[in-house]
Amino acid sequence: MPLACALGAEIVSIDSMVVYRGMDVGTAKPTAAERATVPHHLIDVVDAEEPFSAAEFSRLATAAVEDIRGRGVRPLLVGGSGLYFRAVADGLRFPGTEPETRGLLEAEAIALGPEPMHRRLRELDPVAASRIEPSNVRRTVRALEVAGVTGRAFSSFAADWERYPPDHVRAAGIDMPREVLHRRIEARVAAIMPGLLAETQLLAERGAGRFITSSQAIGYAEALDCLEGRLSQEEAAARTTRRTKALARRQLAWFRRDPRVRWFSVGEEGGIGALDGLIRYLGEEREGA
């Protein structure tokens, strides 16, 4: 928020979960007051039970960026989804979808569980399988869908993702000591767990339980297991913490591959400690995201 205000920018979220309405607690979604202060885009786009793909996100986010620039304002991409960041910043595209094929694969995933689906992917496309967490049913299903629809390995579409055009974006990342990051994750999970359980109950009553299970949305999947008696609240919190730490490692590894990202070191104070440096760095170039 302070960075966007200082730059006179509008925020385009590149988070894969804040697009879903009703998923507020577990995603640390910006509050109504924050969104009234600085315009935010790609938040509350669809209901949690509705299908939504990375390709659809890319289309909507690219349109938002073009609209913001067309009004003479700067778009500021904010979030931790490396896939969505590259799609918007570099205009990369995704293979199409086929609802019937995806539906059959999702039904198999529900019947068989994540590990057999991931084993099938390892046989078809070991490169893609090595990049997807075995418990991430949604991404496994997507990779199998692409292989079935196109006849090509999902990983074969990734060639463009290894190129980082230097003139497309000015990017910055926050580099926090691991022990500090882990403490913040632990504290946040402990603080949100009661609210997350209540929110997940509402989502399940609305019919989003199947989505939560198939997407393995961190925190929500554990909360649903707790509500349905498969985990205690303490076990749900512990698993959410472990998965969040693992996600943070993968996100950092993804962004560290991008040579355009300039890293700003911070301590206990978090990103606010790098605010002045971020303003100077990102303010140097008024063109681009």
pLDDT tens-digit readout, 30-48: 999 999 999 999 999 999 8
Question: Residue 287 above 80 pLDDT?
Answer: no
Decide if pLDDT at 288 tops 80.
Answer: no
Model pLDDT, residue 276: 93
Model pLDDT, residue 209: 82
The two beta strands, 9-13 and 40-41, are parallel
Domain identity same for 64 and 103: no
Mean pLDDT of 267-280: 90
> What's the one-letter identity of residue 221?
A
Mean pLDDT across the stretch 178-195? Answer: 97
Q: Does 27 or 209 have the greater pLDDT score?
A: 27
Helical ranges in 95-177 per DSSP H: 99-112, 114-124, 126-130, 137-150
**Whole-number pLDDT of residue 269:** 87
Are 152 and 28 part of one and the same domain? Answer: no
Q: Does residue 183 sit in the same domain as residue 56?
A: yes
In a domain, 288, yes or no: no
Measured CA to CA, the distance from residue 5 to residue 283 in angstroms comes to 12
**Percentage with pLDDT > 90 across the chain:** 70
The answer to whether 260 and 164 have CB atoms below 8 angstroms apart is: yes
* Count of domains for the chain: 2
| Whether residues 186 and 211 fall in one domain | yes
Same structural domain for residues 181 and 273? yes
Lowest mean pLDDT among 108-117, 209-218, 232-241: 209-218
For the chain, where are the E strands, in sequence order?
9-13, 20-21, 40-41, 46-47, 74-78, 171-175, 261-265
Q: Does 246 have pLDDT greater than 90?
A: yes
pLDDT at 214: 62
| pLDDT value of residue 285 | 52
pLDDT of res. 213: 67
The answer as to whether 289 is a domain residue is no
Same domain, 73 and 105: no
* Residue 51's pLDDT band (cuts 50, 70, 90): confident
Shared domain check, 173 and 250: yes
> What does the alpha-carbon distance between residue 262 and residue 40 come to, in Å, rounded to a whole number?
24
Q: Is pLDDT at 286 greater than 50 in this prediction?
A: no
CATH of the domain at 83: 3.40.50.300
Report pLDDT for 102: 87
Of 35-39, 79-83, 159-163, 204-208, the one with minimum mean pLDDT is 159-163
pLDDT of residue 160: 73
Domain match, 13 and 77 both? yes
Q: Are residues 30 and 134 in the same domain?
A: no
Answer for the pair 214, 109: CB distance below 8 angstroms, yes or no. yes
For range 82-103, the mean pLDDT: 86
Domain enclosing residue 83, as ranges: 2-90+164-283
Are 18 and 56 members of one domain?
yes
pLDDT at 280 over 80: yes
Mean pLDDT over each residue of the chain, to the nearest integer = 91
Element at 283 (helix H, strand E): helix 275-283
Mean of pLDDT values over 149-153: 89
Among residues 112, 145, 161, which one ends one of the domains? 161
CATH number for the domain that contains residue 120? 1.10.20.140
Q: Does residue 289 register a pLDDT over 70?
A: no
